[in-house]
Amino acid sequence: MEIFIVLALLVLAIIAFSTEKISVDIVTMTAVLLLVLTGILDYKEAFAPFGSDFIIMLASIFIVTSAIDSSGVLEHWTSKLMRRSGGSQMKLIMPMITITSAFSAFMNNTTVTALMINPAMAIAKKSGINFSKILLPLAFASIVGGTCTLIGTSTNVAVNAYLSKNGYEAFGMWDFTLIGVIMVIVTLVYMATVGVRMLPNRHNGDLTAEYGVREYLSEIKILSGSSLIGQVIHDSEISRMGFNVLAVIRGDRQFAPGPNISFREGDIVLVKGAMQQLLKVKNTKGIDIVADTLDFYQPNEKALKLTEVVVPGRSDLAGSTIAEIDFRRKYGMVIVAINREGKNITEQLNNIVIEVGDMLLVQGTDDAFNKLKNHHDLVVLSAHVPPVKNLWKGYFALGFFCLAIIISSIKFFNVHVSVAFLASAVLSMLVGAVKPDDAYKSIEWKLLVLIAGMTAFGTAMGNSGADKYLAELIVSWFGGFGPTGIMLGFMVLTVLLTQPMSNAAAALVVLPVALEAANTLHVNPLSYAIAVMLSASVSLITPFEPSCILVYGPGKYKFIDFVKVGGILTAILVGIIYFAVPIMWPLQ
């Protein structure tokens, strides 16, 4: 009965992860709670992973990498290195993949992708290279680069923690670096030769034309005697008729309308609305409709500008409507249009529910965009200007991070990896590289809850015997293919599960079964463990990986682009793992 309960919860969790109707952390906690209530887990087993050393380690890594990222150190040096890459597509792709994968070996790949997008786009624009030719290789490099070290991805850390907790030998910082480097090199060669030829060649056009909003933008001049004079903009007749007031020009000033700003005589107002609505107000007394134009954008510091932003995978905005977010008040800018999976949304935006991967065309001042760069909820895509402030604090944080890697890698110091990275995070806060409040915001709490919860779920599979049941089933079905054939089966299963689930969750679902199958077959369980772990990090078939989501909109990609380009690369990388793992970790 317990086996049935665990397997039923597992299936329901996978379905819930796939649909994303309920937040992954809520799904995970619900599953853990039900396991405790049914007696399959006791409360100590259920909650032990949440206070474990690997959770502390992951949280510390999030903090110190956030300190490095926000200081601009990596962006500063990336810009210098990539500045020499312009001129040709090949000269850009090769150093870009090398730099990106090197950063991803030690940092969260989503953070690295967000860091690299703007420099890559800026150089591509100067060189006349379409973004669609360089952004997908960038995302793939960040994902594969994480396979090079123990801290390269949260998946590696989670798998290693599960092994240690269950009495298996844990991996060291550099144990699988050789395989990771081989996969990075293969990715570079593939993308620079075969992959780049398969990538679409979609041109970078004018923003308003791309989003289809130019026809919706018009200027209205407030004339003497207009009933609009004195009306609060957000509660005016114009707003009630369905127009979105984007900006007001008053004399020499132009500004985004605040919550208490009222119309005055002589104001020129930029509004967005359907042509049918414009025709209705055309004959209204006291206003004059000017021809559709965007000429009011002036090249000065206070000018209102149009820029694109992307909603990343870790954004708290996903699942809320624009009205619920109160976007104008929160960020000091307005949303002009939304691009979702290649389709433009330009009307009734306040009722639109924000989704991960949405490209938002927003309007605001430079000050508003600069503030937005410090939010993890949105990634700004704009002309790249490397930050130069707080560089020395960033160098301190980077030094602490490197020191943590060195100390935890050398057995002579006898310092546990979680202690080393916690120390680096604390020191980064002490030197002011990251503020304590920002440190808490930088931690991806949903991911930590997911990993801890799925680790507890793995314990439940062992307590109930579900892992043995599935392992015996798989061995009986595929035993004729031998230990390596069964290992390949677990690798393919992991790759498939990473499509609807996060990489870490997929690995932790397959890992207990794979370990038990290895024990049943009397082969080295570490061989199966590392095969599953690495397979979870090379799934490039769909755009559901957070790094891929970030480039999906800016590159104007379609789902099929990932299937074609990423599918072949995934098969190649899985093949490398299949042949390399038994050599480095013999099955017998």
Please report which confidence band the pLDDT of residue 345 belongs to, taking 50, 70 and 90 as the band edges. confident
- pLDDT higher at 339 or 407: 407
Amino acid occupying residue 198? M
Q: Are 493 and 510 in contact (CB under 8 A)?
A: yes
| % of the chain exceeding 70 in pLDDT | 86
Residue 446 lies in a domain: yes
Q: Tell me, yes or no, whether 291 lies in a domain.
A: no
Question: Over 70: is that where the pLDDT of 298 sits?
Answer: no
Higher pLDDT, 67 or 76: 67
- Per-residue pLDDT reduced to its tens digit, 537-558: 898 888 878 888 888 878 888 8
Supply the mean pLDDT for the chain. 83
Among residues 394, 416, 395, which one has the least CA distance to residue 407?
416
Global pTM value: 0.78
The answer to the question of residue 463 being in a domain is: yes
**Do residues 238 and 226 make contact, with C-beta atoms less than 8 angstroms apart?**
no
pLDDT in tens, 248-266: 888 777 777 776 788 888 8
Q: So what's the pLDDT on residue 583? A: 94
What is residue 158's predicted lDDT score, i.e. its pLDDT? 92
Domain boundary, last residue among 331, 347, 381: 381
Contact criterion met (CB below 8 Å) for 336 and 363: yes
Are residues 495 and 578 both part of a single domain? yes
Residue 20, in any domain of the structure:
yes
CA separation for the pair 77, 131 (Å, rounded): 21
Question: Same domain for 44 and 77?
Answer: yes
Where is pLDDT greater, at 211 or 185?
185
Q: Which of 287-291, 390-394, 434-438 has the lowest mean pLDDT?
A: 287-291
3-state secondary structure of 199: coil
Of the listed ranges 101-105, 248-252, 379-383, the least confidently predicted one is 379-383
Q: Which neighbouring-strand residues pair with 165? A: none
Sign (positive/negative) of CA torsion 20, 25, 28, 32?
negative
Verify that 90 and 238 share a domain, yes or no: no
* Token pair for 580: 């390399």
Band (568; pLDDT cuts 50, 70, 90)? very high
Three-point CA angle 83, 70, 161, nearest 5°: 105
Domain around 373: 306-381
- Mean pLDDT within 458-475: 90
Q: Are residues 53 and 104 in the same domain?
A: yes
Assess whether 421 and 558 both reside in one domain: yes
- Asked, for residue 183, whether it belongs to a domain, the answer is yes
Strand partners, 221: 268, 288
pLDDT of the residue at 574:
96
Q: Looking at the predicted structure, is the pLDDT value of residue 295 above 50?
A: no
- Does 478 lie in the same domain as 338? no
Task: Return d(Cα 32, Cα 46) in angstroms, integer.
Answer: 7
Tell me how crowded residue 79 is: count the other CB atoms within 10 A of its CB.
18
Together in a domain, 412 and 370: no
pLDDT, residue 18, reads 75
Out of 131-140, 285-294, 378-387, 440-449, least confident range: 285-294
Scan for tokens 């202690």, then name that residue. 419
Q: What does the pLDDT read at residue 280?
A: 61
- What is the mean pLDDT of the segment spanning 337-356? 77
The pLDDT value given to residue 6: 92
Q: What single-letter amino acid sits at 387?
A: P
Could you say which of 318, 352, 381 is where a domain stops? 381
User: Are 360 and 247 found together in one domain?
Assistant: no
User: Residue 352: which CATH number?
Assistant: 3.30.70.1450
In this prediction, residue 521 carries a pLDDT of 92
Q: Are 58 and 422 in contact (CB under 8 A)?
A: no
**324-347: average pLDDT:** 78
Q: Where residue 294 falls among pLDDT bands split at 50, 70, 90?
A: very low
Q: Which comes out higher in pLDDT, residue 392 or 305?
A: 392
Whether residue 560 lies inside any domain: the answer is yes
Query: Length of the chain, please?
Result: 588
Instruction: Annotate 217-280 with DSSP letters as a single string.
Output: EEEEEE-TT-TTTT-BGGGSHHHHTT-EEEEEEETTEEE---TT-B--TT-EEEEE--HHHHHH
Does 421 share its domain with 351?
no
Q: Is residue 247 part of a domain?
A: yes
pLDDT of residue 139: 92
How many domains does the chain divide into?
Answer: 3
What local confidence, expressed as pLDDT, does residue 256 receive? 73
Q: Give the pLDDT of residue 274.
A: 62
**Residues 235, 181: one domain?**
no
Helix or strand (DSSP H, E) at 142:
helix 135-145
Helix/strand/coil for 373: coil
Do 136 and 166 share a domain, yes or no?
A: yes
Give the separation between CA 419 and CA 416, rounded to whole angstroms: 5
What is the DSSP code (8-state) at residue 193? I
Are residue 416 and residue 314 in the same domain, yes or no?
Answer: no
With respect to residue 390, please indicate whether it lies within any of the assigned structural domains.
no
pLDDT at 283: 56
Nearest C-alpha neighbor of 350 from the set 242, 428, 443: 242
Q: How confident is the model at residue 422 (pLDDT cuts 50, 70, 90)?
A: very high
d(CA 502, CA 314): 12
The whole-number average pLDDT for the span 444-467 is 91
pLDDT above 60 for 301: no
pLDDT of residue 312 exceeding 60: yes
**Percent of the chain at pLDDT above 90?**
35
Alpha-carbon gap, residue 502 to 263, rounded angstroms? 50
> Which of 318, 348, 381 is the last residue before a domain boundary?
381
**pLDDT over threshold 70, residue 213:** no
> What type of residue is 92?
L
| Encoded tokens for 128 | 């006349």
